[in-house]
Amino acid sequence: MVLIHGFSATGAMWAPVREALEGSFDVLVVNLAGHVGGPEIPAGTDVSVQALVDAVERDMDAAGFSDAHLVGNSLGGWISLELAKRGRARSVVAISPAGGWEAGTRAERRLRPMFERNHKMSSALLPRLEKWMRRPRLRRALLAQVVARGDRISAATAVQMIRDSVNCAVYFELMDAIVSAGPPSSFEGVDCTVALVWGTKDRILPRRTYSRRLRDMLPAAQWVELKGLGHCPMSDDPELVARTITSFARRAPDGVPEKDELEHGSFTVA
């Protein structure tokens, strides 16, 4: 299993669920190229989503994974689907995957100002970050876009999350490249089991705005809503997220998760 984090984050985002997943799978946690802890994008290569996909493919090759169950969050979800197009996926669990907007729409135009504003605010917070993050209520408020329950994240982890985002070397180049290139045009060639998983309190990519196009592009994908969870739900409810991932990956050959294992109603998981 390969775990792929989102834009400007690091593989540390998977820490809350990593141990549970390692009980069932050989797990590779990657750090995306150009991000803190990740490889550099090769000289002469433009910063792009495809450059990041190439780098994850190299990580899989180095680990001896010809294919794997791919689990991606946000940009990592998009990357997981791109890898599936290349035949590298046994299954895909895409958690709030990016790429679901239409080119030229208000939903797309919202993204650049939001990420520019987030970077500016995070940078301004740095001098007081350790002090402010010691307060659970303030931590929850400051992390509200990313997680629904920031108070469940330790102060030290919250500080590191924000520092890693600010220090992402390709933050603005990658943001510009995503907007310039536009969203994915097709996921033709994805023939493995896919689950589209969305927290109902996602404030970065709210499901009502950013999921429909992906569901249309992947009509065979299973749809799961995580009630009350945010954009990066691994911290909000680690047990539920790990169980959801494990259930889909174990049933990849027939692509149908068992209802009693997910304990859902109409694929809304609480």
Q: How far is CA 136 from CA 133, 140, 148, in A?
A: 7, 6, 13
Q: Which of 88, 97, 100, 99 is nearest to 190 (CA)?
A: 88
pLDDT in tens, 113-149: 999 999 999 999 999 999 999 999 999 999 999 999 9
Average model confidence (pLDDT) for the chain? Answer: 93
Give the integer Cα–Cα distance in Å for 2 and 64.
12
What one-letter code names the amino acid at 36?
V
Beta bridge partners of 264: 269
For the cut 80, the answer to whether the pLDDT of residue 261 exceeds it is: no
For the cut 70, the answer to whether the pLDDT of residue 180 exceeds it is: yes
Q: Which residue has the higher pLDDT, 253 or 169?
A: 169
* Domains, the chain, ordered by start: 2-269 (3.40.50.1820)
For the cut 90, the answer to whether the pLDDT of residue 269 exceeds it is: no
Per-residue confidence (pLDDT) for residue 14, from 0 to 100: 98
pLDDT in tens, 36-86: 999 999 999 999 999 999 999 999 999 999 999 999 999 999 999 999 999
For the cut 90, the answer to whether the pLDDT of residue 259 exceeds it is: no
State percent of the chain over pLDDT 70.
93
Whole-model pTM? 0.93
Give the integer Cα–Cα distance in Å for 34 and 42.
10
Residue 166 CB contacts under 8 Å (≥ 6 apart), including other chains = 119, 122, 123, 126
Beta bridge partners of 224: 197
For the cut 60, the answer to whether the pLDDT of residue 264 exceeds it is: no
For the cut 90, the answer to whether the pLDDT of residue 252 exceeds it is: no
pLDDT in tens, 218-233: 999 999 999 999 999 9
Q: Is 69 helix (H, G, I), strand (E, B) or coil?
A: strand
Mean pLDDT of 151-162: 96
The residue behind tokens 């740095």 is 126
Q: What is the dihedral of CA 81, 86, 89, 94, to 10 degrees?
A: 0
The residue behind tokens 């992906």 is 214
Q: Is 6 helix (H, G, I), strand (E, B) or coil?
A: coil
Give the integer Cα–Cα distance in Å for 232 and 234.
6
Per-residue confidence (pLDDT) for residue 216, from 0 to 100: 96
Per-residue confidence (pLDDT) for residue 270, from 0 to 100: 53
For the cut 70, the answer to whether the pLDDT of residue 186 exceeds it is: yes
What one-letter code names the amino acid at 106?
R
First-residue to last-residue Cα distance in the chain: 24
Q: State both tokens at 51.
A: 């450059």
